[in-house]
Structure 1
Amino acid sequence: MSAIVLFMAVIAVIVGWWLSQQRLTAKPWLEEGAPGDFPDADAMTWPAAKIGLGVFLAVAGSLFALFISAYSMRMNMVDWRTLPVPGLLWFNTGVLVVSSIALQWAYLAARTDDMENVIIGLCAGGASAITFLVGQLVAWQQLRAAGYVVASNPANSFFYLITAAHGLHLIGGLVALGRTTAKVWRGAEMAQVRLSVELCTIYWHFMLLVWLALLGLLTGWTDNFVEICRRLLT
């Protein structure tokens, strides 16, 4: 239960910060003057794709929050036998961090119309994400070879379920990333792909945040962190 509270709190902070940048408290009907006198007025007009991504991320975040909640409750039962976390997951985590950094690089390059660095960032981000997925499959193979199959233990089932759900979401992101990369590679105008690069970057940062939360849950680090915070507050 502590893990899900921590996860939802982090999501709430990020969403709150993002919304605070969108001038939601502005009252345009009270402002006087020509529209051109208010340079921030365009920030209130959200592209439909960005709104759609926000809704999707809220749904996906709720799904993973439910997974975390179910995992936290199920692990307290007597038939639960902790699954050893493959060391490869730490390497995979580093690769996903690199992927997120590469997408951020592409986004910053898109803002300055630097097409060359946009292509580099998108390709590096996609290649790193694919490496992460391959690494996850190798980790599965290692666990199965050691006898940790899906049906032998509830902890095993949760591990495969949670990592598979995250992997499927990342594959979906790779489809969008591939389409964006193809547009840039064909020489599309930067104005036509800038939003797509931004949406891919937001999605990648979200998937990295979710993975870090899941990794903390699987390794027990999340509960230890919450316990330390509780002791400091008391």
Structure 2
Amino acid sequence: MNTVAMEQRKRIHPHKFTLWVGIASIVMMFAGLTSAYIVKRNQVNWITFEIPTVFWVSTVAIVASSVTIWMAQNAFKKRAMAQYRTLMIATLALGVLFLGLQVVGFNQLWESGMTLTKNVSFSFLYIIVGLHGLHVIGGLIALLILFAKAFSSKMRNYDIVPVEVMATYWHFVDLLWIYLLIFLIMIK
């Protein structure tokens, strides 16, 4: 292999680079929000609250979806398209289940009087978890696109890069949720 070819192999794909820049900016945003949460919780009118139990169940769903997308990526690499499609369906279903359980949790909070405008502590909860939910929705849209391509008869491209990018992003939102859940439990 010549030097030019070896140099090109060492370079990161532009889509992967863009993903990592995006992940870094999302990490910075959530670091800022959680830092602000820590500062604000020292206010006199701060109200502590319990996280709904359903958030733990939603955590199981998103962790399971991370496992299924990892398995889907491996199936794609082996060109086991039937298995890949099945695992993508499972990942999508678990992602939708995660969001549904989050909505149930927020309904429980709302019904218990923890509304968005009642106290700044509740506002932080809604904003932090809501922004994570928006990132999950973005991931679900990208999953739907990959899903549609997997079932398309027009396109038979075995380019692994989109699958790797999606899997990396999905693992990221999974880890981000675990961080946020632990943060909200530990820092009351």
Question: Normalising by the residue count of structure 1, what TM-score does the alignment of the two structures yield?
Answer: 0.75
Contact persistence 1:113–1:190 (CA under 8 A):
no
Cα deviations by residue, 1:152-192 (Å, 9 ceiling, x for unpaired): 11111111101110000111111111111100111432523
Q: Write the letter of the residue equivalent to 1:155.
A: S
Partner of 1:70: 36
Q: Alpha-carbon deviation of 1:43?
A: 3.1
Percent identity of equivalent pairs? 32
Asked if residue 189 in structure 1 is aligned to residue 146 in structure 2, the reply is no
Q: Write the letter of the residue equivalent to 1:44.
A: K
Asked if residue 100 in structure 1 is aligned to residue 56 in structure 2, the reply is no
1:120 paired residue among 86, 89, 94: 86
Cα deviations by residue, 1:28-84 (Å, 9 ceiling, x for unpaired): xxxxxx428x98654313222111111111111111111111111111221111122
User: Partners of 1:47 and 1:176 in 2: how far apart?
Assistant: 18
User: Partners of 2:117 and 2:173 in 1: how far apart?
Assistant: 27
Asked if residue 81 in structure 1 is aligned to residue 47 in structure 2, the reply is yes
Contact persistence 1:107–1:197 (CA under 8 A):
yes
Give the alignment of 1:1-234 within 5 angstroms: 34-35=1-2, 41-187=7-153, 188-192=155-159, 194-220=160-186
Q: Write the letter of the residue equivalent to 2:23.
A: L
User: Partners of 1:183 and 1:39 in 2: how far apart?
Assistant: 30
Query: Bigger radius of gyration, 1 or 2?
Result: 1
| 5+ residue gaps, structure 1 | 1-33, 225-234
- The verdict on how the C-alpha distance between 1:42 and 1:179 changes in structure 2, with shifts beyond 3 A counting, is same
Question: Normalising by the residue count of structure 2, what TM-score does the alignment of the two structures yield?
Answer: 0.93
Cα deviations by residue, 1:11-30 (Å, 9 ceiling, x for unpaired): xxxxxxxxxxxxxxxxxxxx
Q: Write the letter of the residue equivalent to 2:65.
A: S
| Larger relative contact order, structure 1 or 2 (CA cutoff 8 Å, min sep 6) | 2
User: Partners of 1:209 and 1:130 in 2: how far apart?
Assistant: 17
Q: CA RMSD in A?
A: 1.9
Q: How many residues align?
A: 187
The secondary structure found in structure 2 opposite 1:151 is: coil
